Amino acid sequence: MADPQLNVDPTELITAAGRLDRLAERLETSLASAVPALSVPAAGRDEVSQVSAASFTSVAETFASDSAKGVEELRKIAAVLRAQADGYARGEDDAAAGFRI
C-alpha cells in the first residue's frame, strides 16, 4: 500500500447517505407503480393458461418482496453511514479537545 493512512470526511459520508436514501425512495416509488402491472391474468380458462399466469404472478410477487428488501437494505446502509460520520466527527472533536489548553 502506497499510503497506509485512512482519511474519512464525515461530510462526504452524510452526502453519500443522502444519495442512498434518494435512490431508495426512487426505487420504492418505481416498484410501487410497477407492482399492479406485474400480476398476470390467465389468457384463458385452460390449465396451461391458469398455471402459467399463476407462475408469472408468483415470480412477480417474489420480485416485489425481494425488491422491497433491497430498498430497506439501502436505507440501512445510509443509516450506518450517518452513524459512522457522527462517530468520526465526535472522535475528531474529542481529539481536538485534548489539544486545547
| DSSP string across the chain | ---------HHHHHHHHHHHHHHHHHHHHHHHHHHHHHPPPPSSSSHHHHHHHHHHHHHHHHHHHHHHHHHHHHHHHHHHHHHHHHHHHHHHHHHHHHH--
Rounded to two decimals, the pTM is 0.78
Q: Using 50, 70 and 90 to split pLDDT, how confident is the model at 101?
A: low
Report pLDDT digits (tens) over 17-71. 999 999 999 999 999 999 889 899 999 999 999 999 999 999 999 999 999 999 9
Report pLDDT digits (tens) over 56-77. 999 999 999 999 999 999 999 9
From the candidate CATH numbers 3.30.365.10, 1.20.140.10, 1.10.287.850, 3.20.20.210, the one assigned to the domain spanning 10-99: 1.10.287.850
State residue 99's pLDDT score. Answer: 82
